[in-house]
Chain A
Amino acid sequence: MAEPIRVIERREETLEERRQRVLERLADAVVHEERAAERLIQLVALAEDKGLLPMLTALLERGDRVLAHVVDLLARDEYTSALQNAIGLAQALGKFNPDVLAKLVDGLAGGLADANEATAADRKPLGVFELLALLKDPNVSYAIRFLLRFLSGMGKALQSPGSSD
């Protein structure tokens, strides 16, 4: 007569069995990924050697609090506007046509070199007639035309509202 029973004698794994099982699994994994395992040990040793490991450990241990502090810091107005500027700058850079930008940088460099040379030679003030005469210089007039067009484009961009879709 088998009466119903509810009691289960759970057989907990002994410490020795557990050690055996875990070591076997670890050993299998190491054998399977021999090279990766070696490199990992090397990497960890280096990190320990350079003091990176204790720092990372502490950071992870106090992760939530650390994150809270970082976020607190970032939430300050000066940092949000810094972030805003950084992102804005990055976006702006992305919008430049690289060819034009390269030409402009070349132009700037050329201009600076010439200017350096000319100003070093002649330190007396620039008169009005001298200025008008310089406008006839094709190089000067090209640069001024470029500057004026640039100002016009910038004005247009500043006036238009943000658009989407």
Chain B
Amino acid sequence: MIDIRTEAQAEARTVLLEIDGKTVTVDRGASVLDAILSTGQEHPHVCYHPALGPIETCDTCIVEIDGKLMRACSTPVEDGMQVRTKSVAARYARKEAMDRILKNHELYCTVCDNNNGNCVLHNTVMQMGVEHQAYPFTPKPYEVDMSNPFYRYDPQQCILCGRCVEACQNLQVSEVLSIAWDREVPRVIWDNDVPINESSCVSCGHCVTVCPTNALMEKSMLGEAGFLTGIEKPTLDKMIDITKKVEPGYSSIFVVSEIEHEMREARIRKTKTVCTYCGVGCAFDVWTKDRHILKVEPQMEAPVNQISTCVKGKFGWDFVNSPDRLTKPLVRKGDRFVEVSWDEALDVIERRIKDIQAKHGYDAVAFISSSKATNEENYLMQKLARAVMHTNNIDNCSRYCQSPATEALRRTMGLGGDTGSIKDLELADLVLIVGANPAEAHPVLSTRLRRAQKKRGQKHIVADVRRNIMATRADLFIQPRQGTDLVWLSAVTKYIIDQGRHAEAFLRDRVNGFDEYVKSLEKFTLDYASEVCGLRKEEIIRVAEMIMEAERVAVCWAMGVTQHRGGSDTSTAICNLLLVTGNVARPGTGAYPLRGHNNVQGAGDMGCAPPFLPGYERVDNEAERRKWEKLWGVEIPTTPGLNNHQMVDAIHEGKLKAMYLCGEDMAVVDANANYVEDAFRKLEFFVVQDVFLSKTAQFADVVLPAAPSLEKEGTFTNTERRIQRLYRVLDPLGDSKPDWEIIQMVANRFGANWHYSSPREIFEEMASAADLFRGASYDRLEGYQSLQWPVLPDGSDTPLLYTDGFAFPDKKARLYPVDWTPPIEVGEEYDLELNNGRLLEHFHEGNMTSRVPGIHEKVPETFVEISPELAKERGVTDGALVRLVSPYGSIKVRVTVTDRVSGKHVYVPLLSHADEEAVNRLTSSDHDTVTYTPAYKEMRVRMEVIQSCGEPPVKRGNFRLGKPNPQPGVNVEQKWARKDYVPLVTDRALVKEG
């Protein structure tokens, strides 16, 4: 019985058709092109891309289906279909289609920078065996657009396939590119036909990546990729002419270009890496020629991003070759740093730290690890602290961002990580985004949400004090007062329960503490929430209704929630809401705190926090501690360690004398920067390990030159708990070294006797003991493979958490009552509400991205966003110079007037080149009551006008000044409607009429 049903289901899922006389079985919903390709047979197609779907502009995939000529890419398979790929009519149609394409494109492959074996057009022409083209190439009346610093558009080479348009409109969803089909000679245009650099283009690189020709190319490739492409332009043009005149048939030309491509393979290295910027975890190949970065080439196998990137991942790597790189260890001597050998630097570290340990004890030294560093390096850093330096004073910068979210997840569900994958976010029917700006801070993740919204009708609710990019596109946008999210979230939860729409069965079977929790909600009435949050009651009800109506709900949140005094509690309120509505542990649902750095998750996972050993095993749990003691052959101290907030206080109190900090610009990114800097001044000894002489490093006694991600091996763990390997793209510059090598050298000066020869050995040691990673290994992470923890000993991983129960002994989640902590109060004269955050183009304070010339050109300086109302009230315009003053400090920045902020709300990006621009000079030392995460997002300031007008800080070239041109896609119907278009497919409408 069961067997029959399974068979029937299997049949319903698959389709049987005939291709060139052979019977083929494929999944229902597949296209005829999928079916043909599934047989291993090659079949031409140019505009179709697996990440974009059928675009239907190129006609090169036409086949005969049941006697009619149809596009294979857009025709779904049907039972009993007869497909003929080799019929004369189909072959004629495809040749004609290719001839029409070649009219738009000069084939000078050997001298083309795109001749790298992956040129779709080149490969298709070769595969089709085209020898000559029927229509000669006709130049288009347009110039090459070189205005964007990162890529160019050459209309002469553009075949108008529309892949770029589809990627921009429906994958990235920035809605900038379109094809002007109504022109006599169509072309791709940006916005309403402005130069690329003056459009709303965010330089994400999607269009360049999907272009099947050299029309859209990375500028870093031009004249660099080929052996002959660097030839002077007039000579090159003549060579192209000769080749065309001689024209012995394309197959001969292709032989030469294939040989040239083979030669390129010898000198272009293609190495997989994982992005060093945000926590999304994009992976891609980096193409290099010696130290020159030719381009970033995303791959379909990349589990998170496939072909997607943002401006930083695609174009933001020039900093690795910056002349500012530290290439030798530095030691402070008087009023300057002096370059010294590694031995000399290590001598100083050994002598000074041993001296301080002898005088003040082991706990007078503290360690800060880095969410930019690999898992292996973070593991070694905490091992150095605990096993070699005998202290639990170890922390990392997740304290500054996501500790409250981790705390909330551990309170309610058990594990401190996102409950699902980005795929679940794509699948959700409703995504609630609270205090997060993913379009700028997690760009590739936001593309998945925007695509789901545009293509599938996914609903978005955005709750934010600022009208960010996601808010402008949201189905519902609410603007609660700063620091009041817990209140409206609780009111929404209470309303849902009051309506009897909570997930009763789920709560009964899988959750504890419902009754007690309901009691705790009593005060969160609509009236109360409306008053506290400044929202209308209808808005709160609408949020609740949308949640109740949706089958699958996911919540994304970030710093707007966590960086408050009540950050952990607000995060908990989100988890409670998800539990009450049963939106966890099912595909398309869950809790997604969006991790800020590439390896914030990993730094925590590896035990870089005072109470935790790797895998969140506890120092104060004797059995767990003993396990690690046995592995390391040492005794681990049990004295509780200091977190980084407490470290700063302990320096001021004179208890902490020395600090060893790796890859973290704490002087700029910690709140209340003036207080932190004063602490650094008081340190007796300070070691900083970094790629550049950061603000923090300027306070150091010894600076150790570290290698950035491109110069080392290791693993990063992204926001979905996904572990991915990065490979060494370049050798470390000068005498700089990967952090793991440096940490090992330091450890060995203190008698550690470590002999790690590669990150693989470090990872294996970690995974051999940490239960969360038991089955993880470098072999299972080879290439683009990845694992989402927990990883079981058999190597199976867990993309979706809690499907067989929550991570508590009774497998039940816990509703955790929380109360509202009102935001910080300061004097009445501080009349403006200060917010801060990231910019798309720059990463955080800009240590890396400011050293990327193209990014610096687009966004050279920071600014303060003020509302049109405030500008009018204070009599200032764009470009005015103002001083913002809080009780903790002041900064001087230029004004940009924008409706992204309203009323008395102001926004300052984190980008800070100069001391007087760093927003953290304004923030306080107040913090989340549970995790000590600074309350960065709770401050009020006053504004003094220095100059009422000036040069606007948001310069030409900034995408924020552009005007997007939303379109459903490439609008191929407009192409088909053109008078000069003769259809190659059998027109079904005509057949019917006839």
User: Which A residues fall within an 8 A CB radius of B?
Assistant: 1-11, 64, 67-68, 71-72, 74-75, 80, 83-84, 87-88, 91, 162-165
Contacts and interface: CB of A to CB of B under 8 A. Distances in A.
B129 A6 contact: no
Contact of A7 (B95, B336, B683): B336
Contact of B130 (A10, A67, A164): A164
Contact of B232 (A5, A64, A74, A84): A64
B582 to A, nearest CB: 53
Contacts of A8: 330, 336-339, 693
Nearest to A87: B248
Contact of A5 (B92, B235, B249, B332): B332
A105 B285 CA distance: 56
Contacts of B130: 164-165
Contacts of B677: 4
A63 B685 CA distance: 57
Interface residues of B, number: 46
Most chain B beta carbons < 10 A, residue from A4, A72, A164: A164
A71 B336 contact: no
B351 interface: no
Contact of A165 (B128, B667, B686): B128
B94 A164 contact: no
22 contacts: A1-B682, A2-B680, A2-B699, A4-B699, A5-B698, A6-B693, A8-B337, A9-B333, A9-B338, A9-B339, A11-B338, A64-B235, A67-B235, A72-B238, A83-B246, A84-B246, A88-B248, A162-B131, A164-B129, A165-B91, A165-B94, A165-B95
B337 A9 contact: yes
Top 9 closest pairs, chain A to chain B, by CB: A4-B698, A11-B339, A165-B95, A87-B248, A7-B336, A164-B131, A68-B235, A9-B338, A8-B337
A74 B235 CA distance: 11
Given A9-B338, A11-B339, A164-B132, 4 more contacts: A1-B682, A8-B330, A74-B242, A164-B130
B574 to A, nearest CB: 40
A40 B235 CA distance: 33
B667 to A, nearest CB: 8
B328 interface: yes
A88 B130 CA distance: 17
Nearest to A85: B246
Contacts of A3: 681, 699
A24 to B, nearest CB: 16
Contacts of B667: 4
Contacts of B231: 64, 67
A80 B337 CA distance: 65
A143 to B, nearest CB: 33
Contacts, number: 93
Interface of B: 91-92, 94-95, 98, 128-132, 231-232, 234-235, 238-239, 241-242, 245-246, 248-249, 252, 328, 330, 332-333, 335-340, 667, 677, 680-683, 686, 693, 695, 698-701
B335 A7 contact: yes
B338 A4 contact: no
A91 B250 CA distance: 13
A1 B679 CA distance: 10
Given A7-B335, A68-B235, A75 B248 contact: no
A165 B232 contact: no
Nearest to B915: A4
A91 B336 CA distance: 72
Given A11-B328, A75-B238, A6 B248 contact: no
A84 B238 CA distance: 16
Nearest to B327: A10
A10 B681 contact: no
Nearest to A11: B339
A2 B683 contact: yes
A72 B232 CA distance: 13
B864 to A, nearest CB: 25
Contacts of A67: 231, 235
Contacts of B128: 164-165
Contacts of A75: 238, 241-242
A83 to B, nearest CB: 5
A87 B701 contact: no
A60 B677 CA distance: 57
Nearest to A9: B338
A91 B252 CA distance: 9
Contacts of A72: 238
A91 B248 contact: yes
A6 B682 CA distance: 18
Contacts of A1: 681-682
Contacts of B337: 5, 7-9
A163 B92 CA distance: 11
Given A1-B681, A9-B336, A164-B131, A71 B235 contact: yes
Given A75-B241, A80-B245, A162-B131, A87 B94 contact: no
Contacts of B92: 165
Contacts of B94: 165
B108 to A, nearest CB: 13
Contacts of B328: 11
B695 A4 contact: yes
Nearest to B703: A8
B100 to A, nearest CB: 14
B549 to A, nearest CB: 54
A5 B335 CA distance: 7
B332 A2 contact: yes
A6 B238 contact: no
A71 B234 CA distance: 10
Given A68-B235, A162-B131, A84 B242 contact: no
A68 B234 contact: yes
A153 B759 CA distance: 70
